[in-house]
Amino acid sequence: MEIAFIGLGNMGLGMAANLAKARHGVRAFDLDAAAVARAVAAGCVAKASVADAVAGTDAVVTMLPAGHHVHAVYADVFAAASAGTLLIDASTIDVVTAQAVAADAATRGLSMVDAPVSGGTTAADAGTLTFMVGGGAEAFARAQPILALMGKAVIHAGTVGMGQAAKLCNNMLLGIHMAGTCEAFVLAQRLGLDAQTFFDISSKASGQNWSMTSYCPVPGPVPGAPSNRGYAGGFASALMLKDLKLALAAASDSGTPVAMGAAAESLYALFAGLGGAGTDFSGLIKLIDGSWER
């Protein structure tokens, strides 16, 4: 199968590499030439534009930062795709944009699913992402085997946009439990409790959560976590802030009280405003313990 992959950043690179490893022809395009070069080193073929990547492919996968990037890229995708090309947007964006772009695709006779992911860069590299997919049954059935090459779980969330609905609710919860986990570690240490000891206890007690056991904000307990590399790479705080803003907008539209989500959003807005936007979202702990320096 020939697959166009557009957006080869922290997440997209590992995902495209896994498609190439499965012996699909992967045509890579990103605005950043260095990202394309990394994709070529991982077995993809460099393309000079969206149109160049998409023409003649069986499927298109996009992994872009936000809704406006998705709008812009799909204008070019629609112009170059042939009938029968399956469109898969794995970016995390708002439900309304996902539904609008998919409706636009449908008017052109193209099938599209929203397939945002959970799992972070380690899972993207390892091919163990969780995909939450919105779209019709037929489009889901076509997308499933492609997504399964990049993930350990591919779940049909419902109609178009429901993948994004699942993702923004999940990430609101992630932002809340990361902020809470950072607070708990800082408080534990100030009370005189060793961080590793607190981890050993809480990871087996009722405070256990993914932000602690898979992505610990304190260096040491989880060797692969960004805290062990100065909070570089991983999931940028700017992207967490974007997701929390999406969740708050959806909560406002649906009249849902989300005080915890709002508290997490204001912490991440403060962190981003103080220069933490490019830092992994677990770096919030440095704001909470007072050691953050721009």
Strand 25-29, strand 45-46: pairing: parallel
Is-catalytic flag, 152?
no
- Residues 30, 8 contacting (CB under 8 angstroms): yes
Part of the chain binding ligand NAD (CB under 6 A), chosen from 66-74, 192-200, 202-210, 214-222: 66-74
Among 115, 119, 131, residue whose Cα is nearest residue 59: 115
**Residue 249 φ then ψ, to 5°:** -65, -40
| Residue with smaller CB distance to ligand NAD, 198 or 235 | 235
Residue 12 interacting with ligand NAD (CB under 6 A)? yes
Q: How far apart are CA 216 and CA 222, in angstroms?
A: 6
- Tell whether residue 69 is a contact of ligand NAD (CB under 6 A): yes
> In whole angstroms, how far apart are CA 158 and each of 72, 132, 133, 135, 283?
25, 9, 7, 6, 34
Contact 226, 193 (CB under 8 A): no
Instruction: Report DSSP state, residue 163.
Output: H
What amino acid occupies position 228?
A: N
Residues 6+ apart with CB under 8 A from 191: none
Q: Pattern 117-156, binding to ligand NAD, x per CB under 6 A?
A: x--xx-----------------------------------
- Smallest separation, CB 27 to ligand NAD (Å): 12
Q: Using the minimum distance from each CB to ligand NAD, give the nearer residue, 135 or 198.
A: 135
Q: Which of 2, 9, 144, 170 is the binder for ligand NAD (CB under 6 A)?
A: 9
- The CA angle 272-275-278, to the nearest 5 degrees, is 70
Nearer CB in complex with ligand NAD: 98/258 = 98
Site string for ligand NAD, 94-123 (x = CB under 6 A): -----------------------x--xx--
Question: 21, 152, 167, 286: which one is catalytic?
Answer: 167
For ligand NAD, the closer of residues 117 and 143 by Cβ is: 117
43 binds ligand NAD (CB under 6 A): no
Q: Comparing C-alpha atoms, which of 24, 255, 267, 54 is closest to residue 148?
A: 24
Considering the rule CB under 6 A, would residue 224 count as an interface residue with ligand NAD?
A: no
- Nearest CB to ligand NAD, comparing residues 29 and 78: 29
Active site residues: 167
Binding interface with ligand NAD (CB under 6 A): 6-12, 29-32, 35, 63-65, 69, 72-73, 91-92, 117, 120-121, 234-235, 239
